[in-house]
Amino acid sequence: MEPSAASTARTRPWTCGACGYENDGGATCDRCGVARRWLEDPPLDLPPRPGFFERPAGWWTLAHGAATLFGALLLVRPEVAPWLALAAPAQAVQVALSLAATVASLNRAATERLFHEVRLEVPDRAPAGEELVADARLVPYGRTDGVHVSLELIENTYHRTRGRRGETRMATRSKRLGRHKMLRGETVPGRRASLYEATFIAPFPTQQMRDVMAELQASAMAALAWLVPGLGQAARNLREHGGVWVRLTVRVGPFFRRVEKRVVVYQMQGEWFAIG
């Protein structure tokens, strides 16, 4: 059986950067005992793993959780605080949105304690039909097992539909154009940068990537964001939905971090120019 690349690397001579001793091989220095791996791939100078309430997401989890419980109490017993209770349908909506905000804040707090950095880099624009390269960087606070990492190319569009009464409704659609699974439940070393790269083909722009009606609906939702938790985020998502996006998803157990960046795609043919 031939030796593996890892075992061959450990037997090669190397010079200790800590004491200058010339080692014939091995995983540690024969003079000072410093690990060869630590010298060749030193850990990053990161702060310690933050506590749950050392980041805003932890406090938002507590605040949204309290709003969920209080809203549920008002839904069942509105006489507890009649001056705050809403009509039953509106109160149910408030409870549902507060619960969703609680889960989202908890997920954010958990992933912020796992990872010091989750970064996605893509070009600002790309010509249609050409290669589009996405780079991801992942830096956990400590050794993390069961990590899933994927990079996707998403095309988001707006579509108008007719309701039962003939009214016009705005609908959003997402189409996955490509996906690369970089990790499938593997281990990521702690306090070190793990880099991933994926290549996609930029799609052709379409007219459905922008819509005035979506802008108007988003503005109306944003005006009520102070009253209903999560409505402001929903308005931003609707306003920024259309276009071509690269999505980085990092998942560990039930928790995940998602980073999305838009890429402006364009096409030029003579005097004709399209952008999306």
Q: Where are the domains of the chain?
A: 5-40, 117-275
CATH of domain 117-275: 2.60.40.10
When pLDDT is averaged across residues 134-144 and rounded to a whole number, the result is 94
Model confidence band, residue 1 (pLDDT cutoffs 50, 70, 90): very low
Which of 258, 254, 251, 149 lies closest to 194 in space, CA to CA? 149
The single-letter code of the amino acid at 33 is G
Asked which of 82-96, 147-161, 205-219 is least confident by mean pLDDT, the reply is 205-219
User: What average pLDDT does the structure give for the chain?
Assistant: 82
Residue 255: pLDDT above 50?
yes
pLDDT of residue 6: 45
Which of 72, 101, 74 lies closest to 228 in space, CA to CA? 101
Residue 146: pLDDT above 90?
yes
Tell me the two tokens of residue 177.
């154009």
Model confidence band, residue 79 (pLDDT cutoffs 50, 70, 90): confident
Which residue(s) pair with 121 in the sheet? 135
At residue 79, the 3 state secondary structure works out as helix
When pLDDT is averaged across residues 190-200 and rounded to a whole number, the result is 92
Measured over the CA atoms of residue 62, residue 64, residue 69 and residue 70, the dihedral's sign is: positive
pLDDT of residue 31: 83
Model confidence band, residue 138 (pLDDT cutoffs 50, 70, 90): very high
The single-letter code of the amino acid at 248 is L
Residue 8: pLDDT above 80?
no
When pLDDT is averaged across residues 31-44 and rounded to a whole number, the result is 77
When pLDDT is averaged across residues 118-132 and rounded to a whole number, the result is 92
Model confidence band, residue 3 (pLDDT cutoffs 50, 70, 90): very low
Q: Specify the higher pLDDT residue, 158 or 178.
A: 178
When pLDDT is averaged across residues 194-213 and rounded to a whole number, the result is 80
Model confidence band, residue 9 (pLDDT cutoffs 50, 70, 90): low
Q: What CA–CA distance (Å, rounded) separates 204 from 65?
A: 43
Tell me the two tokens of residue 219.
């503005």
Residue 119 CB neighbour total at 10 angstroms? 15
The single-letter code of the amino acid at 45 is D
Residue 131 CB neighbour total at 10 angstroms? 10
Tell me the two tokens of residue 4.
């593996």
Asked which of 1-5, 152-156, 256-260 is least confident by mean pLDDT, the reply is 1-5
Q: Specify the higher pLDDT residue, 260 or 242.
A: 260
How much of the chain, in percent, has pLDDT values that exceed 70? 76
Buried b (16+ CB within 10 A) or exposed e, 37-59: eeeeeeeeeeeeeeeeeeeebbe
